[in-house]
Amino acid sequence: MKLAGKIAIITGGGSGIGHEAAKLFAAEGAIVIVADRDGAAAERVAAEIESDSGKASAHTIDVSKEAEIKAMIDRVVADHGRLDILVNNAGFGFAGTVVTTSETDWDALMAVNVKGVFFGCKHAIPVMEKQGGGVIVNTASAVANVGITDRAAYVASKGAVAALTRAMAIDHVAAKIRINCVAPGTIESPYFAKILSGPDGAELRHGLEQRQAMERLGQPVEIARAMLFLASDDASFCTGTTLVADGGWTAR
């Protein structure tokens, strides 16, 4: 098992990519803390893992609140004695250019997508330093490398995650903490299911598929596998990097 006995927190673990990552990490031997703003969803994922002979618990959290992040990490360390892996996966997006995006909406998105990563790392890194190392995986996006229309705040937030990942990796490499990010393309998820449920859903889906060279949407488990690689010793020589898993979108 690639993660035998490792203690792993996965934020945004109640659905989509986070859900699949939680299941995969548990299957590889990790003790998984499924953290999500939707506490019921986190509980369902933890129960699913436990029913499949894995080890998991649920934690309700708003990653935009530093006190909640700190309390969660403190609780995990109190319960398990260490924190080996942190996956900062919680995030969301909305439509809008800089002209149409309100300051309130901008701040709300940045609070989750960027400050959530900042808070998680701020409180996980001292724990990892004290224990002699650890791994952090952040969820960026293919749009950290390429612009798309009508998603200005989201694109900016994911670019920030990728840049912050590089900066932290350099700052903490001497402490034997590896910090990387994964950059998914467009993935089948509850978020995109809502977008594609509209009257123009079929046409929109076709467009999303065509912009990726493989001409399909990715599956959450495909991103979870990339996260597993970065979290495991298979990626022992990787830090400060972005693993792009976008079906060839940004290769064009």
Q: Mind telling me the catalytic residues?
A: 154
**Cβ 138 vs Cβ 179: under 8 Å:** yes
Which tokens sit at 132?
């002699």
Under 8 Å between Cβ of 153 and 94: yes
Half-sphere exposure of residue 37: CA atoms within 13 angstroms, side-chain side: 10
**The tokens of 83 are what?**
């924190």
Type of residue numbered 47: A
Residue 134: closest CA among 226, 33, 236: 236
Dist. CA 95–CA 101, nearest whole Å: 8
Secondary structure (3-state) at 136: strand
